[in-house]
């Protein structure tokens, strides 16, 4: 069942048209990797879907309904959660407070403080630590856990492995895999192509604001992905 | 009047300044704006209580009870109608808007209530005048103790709300990163509006106590704003308990200055403020707002 | 159109024109005409006392004073990003410095000029303390400075204390001539400040100011440092407001600390700059004219008119933050003053395309 329909969406970033006529669909339970070079428009796209960024054209339909006019905090209530680029934890609040503040306004569901801490056992001893004192991997885990507290049906994660050590990335992807098994729909921005291809059902590649590749991960070769990434491949239907 | 007595009186005066300052500090902490209409809103609250006292013939300490919800609503609406819009206009706009607001409130009060100086000390009765005699040179007025106690309670209550409640967490999250707060479901404008409501209510309390303690008129607002601001800066921006400490330092500076010469009292306060600003601590006051601002920029 | 969209349309025009030879010019026909007319008009204004009644001369003096204040507040807030709720500190200081110097035997009009310079000096002294503050802290901090100065003056009996003081030394002159002299001095200061601000904008500092205003961190990465620039603007504003205060005294002859150090001056400056157009060169002029007209009209309503002023200022801040001038600016295809840069592309086909930035 289609959860999100992106229909010729456009978005500006300052003076630049960062997202141009982007269209794709996300189905429930799908895991889609969004890849592309820096500046391709991935972050802007995610932020526009989450409501943190105003669209300049096109439409977003979530669960059949148009998202226009719905503010970011209202979209959270409806089940869209974004883990922003750079984690963006609340630095002067503890891990537990970060989680609690997200849980207060989210949807009811299986993710509560206890179940989230059970899913991310590494965070349990860190409960009382200020978010600013955590390592990169711990912050990323906290950021994902925080987004989970809102019980999202659509989880957007911007730059999953950016700035993390390989071991931390492993840990993060272990939890991402666990999320898949719980039926969430995931849209991940990932710079590491190998990871992206291994965990995703589908791959969307963006270049200069447009979608240049939208295909199931299974049939894709690395060459095809790389060609799309750097330009040179027409959009696959 | 001995020095000790002057200091004690200064502490009590500081309680009043702290009460004025905590609303200013709250709005600054959450929204990063200085509400230049804060003093005038306090005076507005005082006039409201004055009208209720006149109309109903009750003590102002009772009249303040129905006045508080009214002023809570005033603060809430103020944000929803005027301040919310001005926040979107960049860092200058809220200053300009709140200043314009201050002008409007002050002159509106002038029109409605005339420039006459009033006081709520009379209607407040014994509380306003009585005091405990501690030694022959030292006394503690009932009112001074009451105001200080209320200030401590309000500040303590606010701290509690900020640290322990969901609303407090939302306020802190929105203060640190409003963008991300929205991404986890926190409605920033609603948080701001409620914070403004609380700030205006505390300002009303302060205004009423000012009115009981001494006199007030339509143009008393700016002076109280300045004292509140000085208390916040002396005590350290972004720290609620700091405003209590800052208020006390300011109060003591003023009373000690008055001991030298009554004309010097307010001047002494200003000089202490400027000294704090010029001193090395002055630098640390900048660190916090700048850090918070940099978070906003990313 | 905003500056940025102009830049984009220029880029578009250049691209369309096929990017032939590119020249950057500082002025165009329109700006040359406008500048010449302005300068001629300014010079012509000196002749007013000869052709008009003394009442008109005094009104024009007041208008010029308002112009100075509006310009100076715009320099601080519009170019420097520093909203000051305490420029009356300099207004009062300039006035009282004039009184003080006159009491020491200095000729009154010389005292006015010296007082303006002393105000600049005061700004230099205050800068290290006050310029550390940003935003609302700077605003109220300056206000505290103003209140402190007012209190210090009130304590000094030589300066008249709380009851006020008058400027002696001018009563030897016949009233008509006194007003004329005051007018000429005021006009001279007004034109001087206009010229100073113009130079500020036109030289590299102008671009630096706008860079800092748009994005301070990016500007810093290019070596544009905010602090020296803000310092310069702060001192200029101190000089201008001090001059205004001294000239107000020369015009009204009597001042009191509560009024000359009063925060209503900030209310007036705020109104003029907001209504006219914050951050533009022409905006304060428009605002001053509007305020001058309104003040005349409103005076009949007593203190109530301040409410009107406040409401109008708030309304503009929220709904027309770029002021009245922005309405004109957006519609005019050319600039009136040569403070910007224009890129002119001469296309191979001979067509010219260009757009100006300011």
Q: Inter-chain contact B184–A102, Cβ cutoff 8 Å?
A: yes
- The residue that leads in pLDDT, B92 or C142, is C142
How open is the CA angle C82-C35-C330, to the nearest 5 degrees? 60
Residue B32: list chain C partners with CB under 8 A.
135
Does residue C11 lie in a domain region? no
User: Nearest CB to A104: which of B166, B172, B188?
Assistant: B166
pLDDT score of C148: 93
ipTM of the assembly?
0.88
Taken as a whole, chain B contains a residue count of 298
Q: State which residue of chain A sits closest to B292, comparing Cα positions.
A: A91
Chains B, C: CB pairs < 8 Å: 131
Q: Can you say how many angstroms the Cα of residue C249 is from the centroid of all Cα atoms in its chain?
A: 19
Q: State which residue of chain B sits closest to C83, comparing Cα positions.
A: B92
Res C56 pLDDT > 70 = yes
Q: Inter-chain contact C317–B283, Cβ cutoff 8 Å?
A: no
Res C355 pLDDT > 60 = no
Out of B8-17, C104-113, C220-229, C334-343, least confident range: C334-343
pLDDT score of C17: 57
Does residue C347 lie in a domain region? no
pLDDT score of A180: 78
User: Nearest CB to C132: which of B36, B102, B283?
Assistant: B283
Q: Inter-chain contact C151–B267, Cβ cutoff 8 Å?
A: yes
CA distance C7 to C13: 10
Nearest CA to C67 out of C218, C167, C190 is that of C190
Nearest CA to A159 out of A183, A168, A151, A150 is that of A168
Q: State which residue of chain B sits closest to A46, comparing Cα positions.
A: B183
Residue A102: list chain B partners with CB under 8 A.
184-185
Other C-beta atoms closer than 10 Å to the C-beta of C345 total: 21
Chain B closest CA to A130's CA: distance in Å? Answer: 13
Q: Can you say how many angstroms the Cα of residue C152 is from the centroid of all Cα atoms in its chain?
A: 27
CA distance C254 to B162: 52
Per-residue pLDDT band at C16 (split at 50, 70, 90) = low
Task: Work out whether strand B131-133 and strand A55-62 pair parallel, antiparallel, or are unpaired.
Answer: unpaired
Out of B25-29, C139-143, C307-311, least confident range: C307-311
Does residue C254 lie in a domain region? yes
Report, as an integer, the average pLDDT of C322-333.
Answer: 73
Q: Is A146 on the interface with B (CB under 8 A)?
A: yes
Asked whether C273 and C287 are in contact (CB, 8 A), the reply is yes
| DSSP letter string, B229-242 | HHHHHHH-TT-HHH
- Domain spans of chain B, in order of start: 3-297
C234: domain CATH number is 1.10.3470
Report, as an integer, the average pLDDT of B80-94.
Answer: 83
Chain C closest CA to B127's CA: distance in Å? Answer: 33
Res C351 pLDDT > 50 = no
Q: Is C11 on the interface with A (CB under 8 A)?
A: no
How many alpha carbons lie under 13 Å from residue A95 in its C-beta half-sphere? 24
Q: Inter-chain contact C83–B100, Cβ cutoff 8 Å?
A: no
pLDDT score of A100: 93
pLDDT score of C90: 96
Report, as an integer, the average pLDDT of C77-82.
Answer: 85
Res B251 pLDDT > 70 = yes
Residue B285: list chain C partners with CB under 8 A.
137
Q: State which residue of chain C sits closest to B236, comparing Cα positions.
A: C137
Residue C298: list chain B partners with CB under 8 A.
none
Per-residue pLDDT band at C7 (split at 50, 70, 90) = low
Q: Inter-chain contact B96–C217, Cβ cutoff 8 Å?
A: no
pLDDT score of B285: 43
Per-residue pLDDT band at B146 (split at 50, 70, 90) = very high
Percent of chain C scored above 90 by pLDDT? 26
Q: State which residue of chain B sits closest to A105, comparing Cα positions.
A: B185
Res C91 pLDDT > 90 = yes
CA distance A179 to B160: 36
Nearest CA to B211 out of B62, B24, B34, B16 is that of B16
Residue C6: list chain A partners with CB under 8 A.
none
Per-residue pLDDT band at C24 (split at 50, 70, 90) = low
Report, as an integer, the average pLDDT of B258-272.
Answer: 90
Substitution target in A13, A15, A17 with the highest count of C β-carbons within 10 Å is A15
**Residues 6 or more apart whose Cβ sits within 8 Å of residue A192:** A161, A169
Q: Is C8 on the interface with A (CB under 8 A)?
A: yes
pLDDT tens-digit map of A74-108: 999 999 999 998 889 999 999 999 999 998 888 88
Residue linked to tokens 């921006």? B237
- The residue that leads in pLDDT, B197 or C103, is B197
CA dist list (Å): B236 to B135, B230, B233, B284, C299: 34, 10, 5, 8, 43
CA dist list (Å): B296 to B174, B177, B226, C310: 10, 6, 28, 30
Per-residue pLDDT band at C15 (split at 50, 70, 90) = low
Structure tokens that stand for C65 in this block: 């004073």
Res B291 pLDDT > 90 = no
What is the 3-state composition of chain C as percent helix, strand, coil, each rounded to the nearest 5? 75, 5, 20
For chain A, domains (ranges, CATH) are 2-84+150-230 (3.40.50.300)
User: Nearest CB to B186: which of A82, A86, A101?
Assistant: A101
> In the CATH scheme, what architecture does the domain B3-297 have?
Orthogonal Bundle (1.10)
Residue linked to tokens 């200013």? B24
User: For residue C322, what is the DSSP state?
Assistant: T
pLDDT score of C328: 75
CA distance A194 to A165: 16
**Residues 6 or more apart whose Cβ sits within 8 Å of residue B154:** B19, B22, B202, B205
What ranges make up the beta strands (E) of A102-223? 154-157, 185-189, 202-207, 210-216
3-state secondary structure C40-59: HHHHHHCCHHHHCCHHHHHH
pLDDT score of B295: 31
| DSSP letter string, B169-203 | HHHHHHHH-HHHHHHTT--HHHHHHHHHHHHHHHH
Per-residue pLDDT band at B281 (split at 50, 70, 90) = low
pLDDT score of C204: 64
Asked whether A95 and A128 are in contact (CB, 8 A), the reply is yes
Chain C closest CA to A88's CA: distance in Å? Answer: 20
Structure tokens that stand for C243 in this block: 């001059």
Total structural domains within chain C: 1
Please tell me the pTM assigned to this model.
0.84
Name the region of C323 (left: φ>0; alpha: ψ -120 to 50; beta: rest).
left
Nearest CA to B199 out of B78, B114, B99 is that of B78
pLDDT score of C10: 62
Provide the mean pLDDT of chain C.
80
Q: Is A101 on the interface with B (CB under 8 A)?
A: yes
Q: Inter-chain contact B270–C267, Cβ cutoff 8 Å?
A: no
Substitution target in C125, C151, C268, C316 with the highest count of B β-carbons within 10 Å is C151
Res B290 pLDDT > 70 = no
Residue C77: list chain B partners with CB under 8 A.
92
Per-residue pLDDT band at C4 (split at 50, 70, 90) = low
What ranges make up the beta strands (E) of chain B? 118-119, 131-133, 139-141, 215-216
Residues in chain A with pLDDT < 70?
Answer: 232-237
- Packed helices C226-252 and C88-103: angle between N→C axes, nearest 10 degrees: 50
Give phi and psi for A58, each to the nearest 5.
Answer: 85, -170
pLDDT score of B105: 93
Res B209 pLDDT > 90 = yes
Residue C8: list chain A partners with CB under 8 A.
15
pLDDT tens-digit map of C160-173: 878 888 888 777 77
Q: Inter-chain contact B226–C144, Cβ cutoff 8 Å?
A: yes
pLDDT score of A135: 87
**Residues 6 or more apart whose Cβ sits within 8 Å of residue C40:** none
Percent of chain C scored above 70 by pLDDT? 80
Provide the mean pLDDT of chain B.
87
pLDDT score of C163: 84
pLDDT score of C9: 65
Asked whether C318 and B78 are in contact (CB, 8 A), the reply is no
Domain that holds residue C255: 27-339
């Amino acid at each position: 069942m289609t959860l999100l329909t992106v229909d010729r969406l456009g978005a500006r970033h300052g003076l630049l048209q960062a997202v141009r006529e982007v269209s794709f669909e996300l189905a429930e339970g799908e895991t889609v990797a969004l890849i592309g070079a820096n500046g391709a428009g991935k972050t802007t796209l995610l932020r526009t879907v989450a409501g943190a960024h105003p669209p300049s054209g096109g439409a977003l339909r979530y669960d059949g309904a148009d998202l226009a006019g719905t503010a970011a905090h209202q979209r959270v209530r409806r089940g869209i959660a974004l883990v922003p680029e750079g984690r963006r934890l609340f630095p002067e609040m503890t891990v537990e407070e970060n989680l609690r503040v997200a849980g207060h306004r989210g949807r009811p569901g299986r993710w509560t403080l206890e179940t989230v801490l059970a899913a991310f056992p590494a965070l349990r001893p860190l409960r009382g630590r200020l978010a600013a004192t955590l390592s990169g991997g711990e912050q990323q885990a906290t950021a994902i856990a925080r987004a989970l507290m809102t019980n999202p049906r659509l989880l957007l994660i911007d730059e999953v492995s950016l700035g993390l050590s390989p071991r931390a990335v492993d840990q993060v992807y272990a939890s991402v895999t666990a999320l898949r098994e719980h039926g969430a729909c995931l849209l991940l921005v990932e710079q590491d192509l190998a990871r992206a291809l291994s965990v995703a059902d589908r791959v969307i590649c963006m270049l200069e604001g447009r979608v240049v590749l939208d295909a199931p991960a299974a049939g894709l070769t690395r060459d095809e992905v790389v060609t799309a990434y750097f330009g040179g491949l027409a959009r696959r239907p | 009047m001995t020095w000790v007595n002057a200091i004690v009186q200064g502490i009590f005066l500081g309680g009043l300044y702290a009460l004025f300052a905590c609303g200013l500090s709250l709005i600054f902490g959450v929204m990063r704006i200085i509400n230049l209409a804060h003093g005038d809103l306090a005076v507005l609250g005082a006039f409201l209580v004055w009208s209720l006292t006149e109309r109903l013939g009750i003590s102002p300490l009772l009249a303040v009870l129905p006045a508080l919800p009214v002023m809570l609503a005033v603060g809430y609406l103020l944000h929803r109608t005027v301040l919310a819009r001005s926040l979107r206009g960049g860092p200058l706009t809220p200053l300009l808007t709140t200043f314009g607001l201050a002008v409007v409130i002050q002159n509106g009060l002038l029109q409605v209530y005339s420039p006459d100086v009033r006081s709520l000390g009379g209607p407040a009765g014994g509380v306003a005048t009585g005091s405990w005699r501690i030694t022959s040179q030292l006394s503690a007025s009932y009112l001074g103790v009451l105001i200080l106690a209320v200030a401590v309670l309000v500040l303590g209550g606010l701290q509690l709300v900020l640290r322990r409640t969901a609303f407090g967490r939302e306020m802190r999250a929105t203060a640190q990163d409003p963008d991300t707060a929205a991404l986890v479901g926190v409605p920033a404008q609603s948080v701001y509006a409620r914070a403004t409501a609380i700030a205006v209510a505390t300002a009303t309390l302060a205004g009423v106590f000012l009115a009981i303690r001494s006199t007030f008129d339509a143009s008393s607002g700016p002076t109280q704003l300045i004292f509140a601001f000085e208390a916040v800066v002396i005590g350290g921006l972004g720290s609620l308990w700091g405003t209590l400490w800052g208020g006390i330092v300011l109060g003591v500076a003023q009373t000690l200055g008055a001991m030298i010469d009554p004309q010097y009292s307010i001047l002494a306060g200003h000089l202490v403020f400027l000294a704090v600003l010029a001193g090395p601590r002055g630098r640390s006051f900048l660190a916090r707002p700048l850090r918070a601002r940099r978070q906003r920029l990313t | 159109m905003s500056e940025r969209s102009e830049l984009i349309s220029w880029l578009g025009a250049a691209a369309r024109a096929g990017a032939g030879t590119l020249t950057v010019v500082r002025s165009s026909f329109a700006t040359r005409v406008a500048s010449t007319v302005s300068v001629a008009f300014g010079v012509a204004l000196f002749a007013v006392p000869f052709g008009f009644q003394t009442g008109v001369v005094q009104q024009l003096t007041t208008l010029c004073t308002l112009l100075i204040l509006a310009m100076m507040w715009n320099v601080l807030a519009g170019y420097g990003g520093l909203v000051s709720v305490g420029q009356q500190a300099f207004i009062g200081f300039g006035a009282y410095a004039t009184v003080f110097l006159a009491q020491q035997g200095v000729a009154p009009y010389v005292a006015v000029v010296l007082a303006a310079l002393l105000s600049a000096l005061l700004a230099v002294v205050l800068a290290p303390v006050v310029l550390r503050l940003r935003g609302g802290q700077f605003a109220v901090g300056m206000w505290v400075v103003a209140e402190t100065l007012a209190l210090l003056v009130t304590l000094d009996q030589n300066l008249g204390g709380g009851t006020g003081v008058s400027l002696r030394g001018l009563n030897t002159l016949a009233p008509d001539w006194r007003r004329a002299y005051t007018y000429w001095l005021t006009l001279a200061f007004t034109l001087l400040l206009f010229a100073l601000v113009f130079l500020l904008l036109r030289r590299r500092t102008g671009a630096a100011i706008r860079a800092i205003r748009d994005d301070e961190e990016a500007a810093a990465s290019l070596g544009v440092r905010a602090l020296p620039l803000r310092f310069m603007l702060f001192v200029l504003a101190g000089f201008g407001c001090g001059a205004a205060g001294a000239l107000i005294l020369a015009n009204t002859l009597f001042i009191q600390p509560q009024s000359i150090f009063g925060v209503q001056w900030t209310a007036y400056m705020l109104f003029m700059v907001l209504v006219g157009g914050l951050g533009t060169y022409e905006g304060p002029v428009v605002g001053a004219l509007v305020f001058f007209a309104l003040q005349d009209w409103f005076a009949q309503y007593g203190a109530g008119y301040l409410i009107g002023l406040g409401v109008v200022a708030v309304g503009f801040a929220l709904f027309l933050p770029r002021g009245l001038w922005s309405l004109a600016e957006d519609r005019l295809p050319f600039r009136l003053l040569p403070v910007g840069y224009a890129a002119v592309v001469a296309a191979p086909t001979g067509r010219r395309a260009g757009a100006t930035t300011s």
